[in-house]
Amino acid sequence: MTAPLIDPFQRAISYLRVSVTDRCDFRCVYCMSENMTFLPKKELLTLEELDRMCTTFIDMGVEKLRITGGEPLVRKGIMTFFDGMTRHLDSGALKELTLTTNGSQMERFADDLYEAGVRRVNISLDTLDEKKFADITRWGRLPQVIKGIDAAQRAGLRVKINTVALKGFNEDELFTLTDWCAERDMDLTFIEVMPMGDIGNEDRLDQYWKLSDLRTDLRERFTLTDLPDRTGGPARYVRIEETGQKIGFITPLTHNFCESCNRVRLTCTGELYMCLGQEDMADLRAPLRNNPASDAPLMEAIRSAITRKPKGHDFDYSRQSVDGRVSRHMSHTGG
């Protein structure tokens, strides 16, 4: 039962991304509609169930745990979960516990997260213009996020900024964002917008800014050196020689990054998605709740799910239509 998790393409699964809530205090236009209907709370895994679920994955070889949402830090009592995971860091079974957040609650939680063993956080930030920030997040306030970034750095957390590349929105801030991150000693990753969930009146095809074009624009000003860094994640990295900072590119549309995929995603309701861009999933909540005294049925369900992990996903904008889209929102699966 403790043999490593190996998928059909001989990729070892050592990275679990866990959405602890579908709720968020922002309503980013590329992520969700303004009037979202959230899941009934009884469907969500309790914090105790999340602990047991993650512990089972760690027992089966998962070494990296990324906590996501929604906005994970709006989950009531969430530090109880982080504090519980500290024991796996202390034992050495878990190599890294990290977090993706919109930064809105970081001022409150940065010190506690560091105390729990978190050393790196990814903070989503698409613009440094206060009005544009309010427009794209609908409910967000930029100064609150900047204070969160300040608090994270004071606490000793290494901050990476994630920026969704959006045509007609932040193209004119490419160098502003890059320079700002360099000044604060933060790495920066650009992400192509993904076709996930109904977002109301927004058109993702209009939003799509191809990262190969973005990279060409960067080369006009900077010297870029390709880096061999591979984390098993989707990003490909370059170093800007003039600043020394690392820039990542996540390109699910123009480049299928699946060949080294070592991760699966657990939703806040206990659904395991073996691929972000596919609809196939496994229900882990039932074996968890139906067998309180034994983890064996849960482990069997996990192993069965990994045997169905596909080779890759099918996102495609090349035919001027959003092909390969999936129906669930990113906030449900986890960012």
Spatial separation of the C-alpha atoms in residues 74 and 198, rounded to whole Å:
23
Helices (H), 119-268: 130-137, 142-155, 174-183, 204-207, 211-219
Q: How far is CA 210 from the centre of its chain?
A: 20
- Which residue range is the domain that position 265 belongs to? 15-333
Number of domains in the chain: 1
Residue (of 328, 304, 282, 292) closest to 36 by Cα position = 328
Spatial separation of the C-alpha atoms in residues 104 and 220, rounded to whole Å:
34
Structural domain includes residue 158: yes
Q: CB within 8 A of 258, min separation 6: which ones?
A: 275, 311, 312, 313
Question: Rounded to 5 degrees, what are φ and ψ at 282?
Answer: -125, 135
Structural domain includes residue 9: no
Residue (of 122, 145, 219, 137) closest to 178 by Cα position = 219
Structural domain includes residue 6: no
Residue (of 50, 107, 35, 48) closest to 73 by Cα position = 107
pLDDT recorded at residue 330: 53
pLDDT recorded at residue 251: 82
Tell me the β-bridge partners of 273.
265, 281
Full pLDDT tens readout for the chain, 335 residues: 667 899 998 999 999 999 999 999 998 888 887 878 888 888 999 999 999 999 999 999 999 999 999 999 999 999 999 999 999 999 999 999 999 999 999 999 999 999 999 999 999 999 999 999 999 999 899 999 999 999 999 999 999 999 999 989 999 999 999 999 999 999 999 998 865 444 444 455 567 888 999 999 999 999 999 998 765 567 889 999 999 999 999 886 555 557 778 899 999 999 999 987 777 899 999 999 999 999 999 999 999 999 999 887 654 444 344 444 445 455 556 55
Q: Are 68 and 263 in contact (CB under 8 A)?
A: no
Q: Are 161 and 146 in contact (CB under 8 A)?
A: no
Structural domain includes residue 224: yes
Structural domain includes residue 82: yes
Q: Is 79 exposed, middle or buried (0-12, 13-18, 19+ CB in 10 A)?
A: middle
For the segment 289-308, what is each residue's pLDDT rounded down to a tens digit? 999 999 999 999 999 999 99
Residue (of 86, 158, 174) closest to 120 by Cα position = 158
Residue (of 275, 281, 278, 277) closest to 263 by Cα position = 275
- Tokens (6 digits) for 262: 């070592």
Structural domain includes residue 4: no
Q: How far is CA 64 from the centre of its chain?
A: 13
Q: Are 172 and 127 in contact (CB under 8 A)?
A: no
For the segment 21-76, what is each residue's pLDDT rounded down to a tens digit? 999 999 888 888 787 888 888 899 999 999 999 999 999 999 999 999 999 999 99
112: domain CATH number is: 3.20.20.70
Structural domain includes residue 3: no
pLDDT recorded at residue 252: 66
- Tokens (6 digits) for 86: 């500290």
Spatial separation of the C-alpha atoms in residues 253 and 165, rounded to whole Å:
12
Counts for the chain of helices (H) and strands (E), in that order? 11, 12
Structural domain includes residue 2: no
pLDDT recorded at residue 23: 92
Q: Are 250 and 210 in contact (CB under 8 A)?
A: no
Q: CB within 8 A of 175, min separation 6: which ones?
A: 221
Q: Does residue 333 sit in helix, strand or coil? A: helix
Q: Are strands 187-192 and 224-226 parallel, antiparallel or unpaired?
A: unpaired
pLDDT recorded at residue 335: 54
